[in-house]
Amino acid sequence: MRIIKVDAIESTNTFLRDLIRSTSVEAFTTVSAREQTAGRGQMGTIWKSKAGENLTCSVFVPMKGFALSSQFYISMAVALAISKTLQSLLIPKIKIKWPNDILSDKQKVCGILIENIVTHGQLTGVIVGIGLNVNQIDFEGLPQASSLKLITGKFFNIDELTMVILDNLKKYIELLKANEFDVLHKAYEALLFRKNKPSTFQDVKGESFVGIICNVSPSGKLNVLLEDEIVQEFDLKQIKLRY
């Protein structure tokens, strides 16, 4: 496993993708940046992080032969690996906010961005981008954000934390490649934020409505029980869960 440390780059995901295009890259090669100047989150959002205070990295995971139709299980495995890491550090009340934000007591501490590498219509691997708030204590304009230091009062060694995450990621990817889909699905839903609780959502028109999260489909869609007792399926572009 190769770890490439850089000082300041636009995006670790972009850096790693360019590296994969230009040379042979071994499994779990990781690019870790002290600072990202153009870090990306889900749906084209910008990931803001103070230089040197957080864990910002991207990991190459080969997935040759894995069905594109089952790709959400990769997201489950990654979210579970990070959740397991934080639980081992005694970070309280860890939950996964669909599809793969990691929360501690309703506060976001980690964002995940997974990009597929597809060759001739076949999935050959993924780039797993991880942005974990570690030692930063000021999140101006981000009331739902927190960090491990804010939560525990402790300073964390980012390099050591990266290694623990990578070890857990390997374990969950092994489960994935062993086709332990049911195990991953059950573990993911056990940590699902707001599951079986009345919650407020926002649709693409910006209108709010109330529903109850029932479960997540194998394809990664959110099944929500609406007021008329109908369960409707939503994908990431159709719905946003309010905190």
* Mean pLDDT, the chain, whole residue set: 93
Q: How many other C-beta atoms lie within 10 A of the C-beta of residue 28?
A: 18
Measured distance CA(36)–CA(30) in Å, rounded? 15
Model confidence pTM above 0.95: no
Mean pLDDT of 195-218: 96
Map out the domains of the chain with their CATH numbers.
Answer: 3-190 (3.30.930.10), 198-241 (2.30.30.100)
- Whether residue 137 is predicted with pLDDT greater than 60 in this model: the reply is yes
3-state secondary structure 19-86: HHHHCCCCCCCEEEEEEECCCECHHHCECCCCCCCCEEEEEEEECCCCCHHHCHHHHHHHHHHHHHHH
pLDDT (tens digit per residue) in 6-59: 998 999 999 999 999 999 999 999 999 999 876 555 545 555 677 789 999 999
Q: How many other C-beta atoms lie within 10 A of the C-beta of residue 100?
A: 23
Judge whether 42 and 69 are in contact, CB under 8 Å: no
